[in-house]
Amino acid sequence: MLKWCANGFGAVALSALSAEGRGKLSIDPMAPKPPHFPPKAKSVIFLYMDGAPSHVDTFDYKPVLEKYNGQDPRTAIGKLERTQFDNIGTVLKSQWDFKQHGECGHWISSLFPHLAGVADDLAMIKSMTSPFAEHTSANYFLHTGSGFQGRPSMGAWFGYGLGTENKNLPGFVVLNGGLIPPGGLDCFGSGFLPATYQGSVFLPSENPIANVKRTEPSDSLQRNKLDLIRSLDEKTLSHLQGDPQVEAAIRNYETAYLMQSAVPELTDLRGETEATKKLYGLDSTFKNTQTFAKQCLIARRLVERGVRFIELTCPGGNGDR
């Protein structure tokens, strides 16, 4: 009986403590959080390589393809997975040579002669599979672990778990080179997590964030307007007794205000040496390579400024045809 009463009193106390915070902006969800285990990495740069070469032409050596090259897979292998359009061709080996590299012995094709030189610095995961042949579902699965929209993305989970170390920039940034993955912005969404964890899309242009530049004649006037908006939002928040979407909107206004100075400084590459720019590929005569090189350089600068998760999308093209 005492045990049940104690649990009951605890529930009442918890309810009271929870009610005290209603109507007020909760503790900043993006505040840095200690991890459950000692971290080996503080940030993630995820390169979304749309239209890239097949795994069997890059890092996944398949000697069986060489053995049965040109043969009917139904007789050569004895097993055939159903294809998307039910067309059956012949077994095709990779068109590039494979060799083992480094002390680890990673198999890397001749497509990547320079990458092969740092084989021992690479961790290759070859056990990942996907049950989806359709692009949109496959991209939801890649980004969220589910083939259906509505689940939190990788970047959202990362921010939820570790927060951010920079209040002037979002914790999850998407550097859009021009090609959003099939599935759209849901690939960067927060799902059932608060909206503050969703990705913020930066464009590869002089103004990476729309409407982030001040239009008011003075900073004080803009600050007064934002304070008024915040007070109205907080009244709404109090009326609703707390709402994650309203809280996210309040924080988004404040982050946008701080980004007015942080983003121009971030994207100003004049402080980078010419040698560094060349290493990243900014001197390329191919526009798409220039764009992606700039994205990679900005991604490094974002990590240096404490942003937790950065995803890079490729410039538009037809590399998968």
Q: Where are the domains of the chain?
A: 26-53+132-212+259-321, 54-110
pLDDT digits (tens, 9 = 90+) for 202-243: 987 778 887 777 777 787 887 888 788 888 888 888 888 777
| Closest to 180 in 3D by CA, of 198, 157, 202 | 202
pTM score > 0.85 for this model?
A: no
Structure-token pair, residue 249: 């909107």
CA dist 108 and 193 (Å) reads 39
| Closest to 208 in 3D by CA, of 200, 199, 216 | 200
How high is the pLDDT of residue 25? 54
How high is the pLDDT of residue 137? 94
Name the one residue in this structure whose structure tokens are 């049950």: 131
How high is the pLDDT of residue 20? 38
> Which residue ranges of the chain lie beneath pLDDT 50?
1-23, 321
- With b for 16 or more beta-carbon neighbours within 10 A and e for fewer, the 277-300 pattern comes to eeebbbeeeeebebbbbbbbbbbb
How high is the pLDDT of residue 26? 56
